[in-house]
Structure 1
Amino acid sequence: MNLPAEAVTALEAFQNAPGWEQRARLLMQWGERLPALSDVDMCDANRVHGCESQVWLVGELQDGHWRFKANSDARLIRGLVALLLARVNGLSAADLQQVDLADWFNQLGLGRQLSQSRSNGLNAVLQRMNELAG
C-alpha cells in the first residue's frame, strides 16, 4: 500500500533519529503541529471513548479520500495521534481498513514505547476513524 506523503516524511524523520530521546522530542514536535480543534469540534460527540486521555476526532470525506483532524489533552498522545493522522489522511475507506497500527509504530521505532493502554487508545481512535468512514 502506498504511504501518504506525510507518512513518508514521518518515517524518514523517525528512522533517522539516532535514539529514543530524539524520537521523543520529534514526537512532541509532531503533537505541537496538530492544528487546534474548534470548541464546536471538541464536543462529547467527537470524543473517542476507550482512551485514558481525552481525544477528539473529526473526519470528512473529500473526493473519496478521508481527512481527519484530532487533538488530545495529553502531550504524548497528541504526538502519537499526529503520527496516526500522517499515516491515514488521504486514504480511501478501504485503505483505511488495511492500516496496521502496531506495524506503523514499529516502523517509526516507537512500538516499544506504546504501553498497553496507549496502544488500546490509539486502536480506539483508528476504530472510530473506520466507523466514520464506514
Structure 2
Amino acid sequence: MMTINEIQDQIIEDFSYYEEWMEKYEHIIQLGKELPLIDEQYKTEENLIKGCQSRVWLHAAYKDGLVIFTADSDAIITKGLVGLMISVLSHQPPKAIAESEIYFIDRIGLRSHLSPTRSNGLLAMLKQMKMYALALNSIHPA
C-alpha cells in the first residue's frame, strides 16, 4: 500500500506530463468518471459537503483498519476534484489521514487555476475527509 505522500508525489508526476491547463482539466474530469460512486442511500443531507457551490456527497466507511471514501457530485469538475482527493486519502488509516499534510494541490498549481468558489469547495472536501478520519480514529485508535 502506498502512503499518502507517495500517492501525492505520483499525482505531481502524473500532472507534470501535461503542459496545458486544459489537458490537466481533462485529466481531472477523467478522474471524476473513474470515481467509486457513493451508494444512493448515502446521498443524504448529512453527507453533503458544506462550503461547496456544487452538490458533493461524501461518505466514509471503516474497514480492516482503513477509511474508504466514496463520493459523487452534480458538477463534472467537482466530481474530478473529489476523485482526486479520494485517490490520495481513501484506503488509508484514519490517523494517517488526520495527520496528513496535503501538498499536491499547490505543487500541481491547482489552487491557482481554480475559481475561488471551487478552491473553497476543495478545502471543504479536505476538511470533511479529515473530520471523518478524526472521528473514526477516536472510535478505532491505531
Contact 2:12/2:108 (<8 A) preserved: yes
Contact 1:66/1:89 (<8 A) preserved: yes
Alpha-carbon RMSD? 2.2
Match of 2:61, SS? strand
* Mapped partners of 1:60, 1:9: distance in 2: 25
Written as runs of structure 1 = structure 2, the 5 A alignment for 1:73-92 is: 73-92=74-93
Q: Which residue of 1 aligns with 2:67?
A: 66
- Note the alpha carbon deviations across 1:80-126, whole angstroms, 9 max, x for none: 1111111111222222123344x221223323112322222122222
Deviates more, 1:35-44 or 1:73-82: 35-44
What is the identity percentage for the equivalent residue pairs of Structure 1 and Structure 2?
A: 29
Q: Which residue of 1 aligns with 2:139?
A: none
TM-score of the pair, normalised by structure 2: 0.80
Q: Which residue of 2 aligns with 1:30?
A: 31
Q: Which residue of 2 aligns with 1:111?
A: 111
**Distance change in 2, residues 1:105/1:90 (3 Å):** same
Q: Which residue of 2 aligns with 1:123?
A: 123
* Mapped partners of 2:131, 2:4: distance in 1: 21
* Mapped partners of 2:118, 2:23: distance in 1: 20
1:22 Cα deviation after fit: 1.1
Unmatched tracts of structure 2, length 5 or more: 136-142
Match of 2:15, SS? helix
Contact 1:65/1:91 (<8 A) preserved: yes
Corresponding residue pairs, total: 133
1:44 Cα deviation after fit: 1.3
TM-score of the pair, normalised by structure 1: 0.84
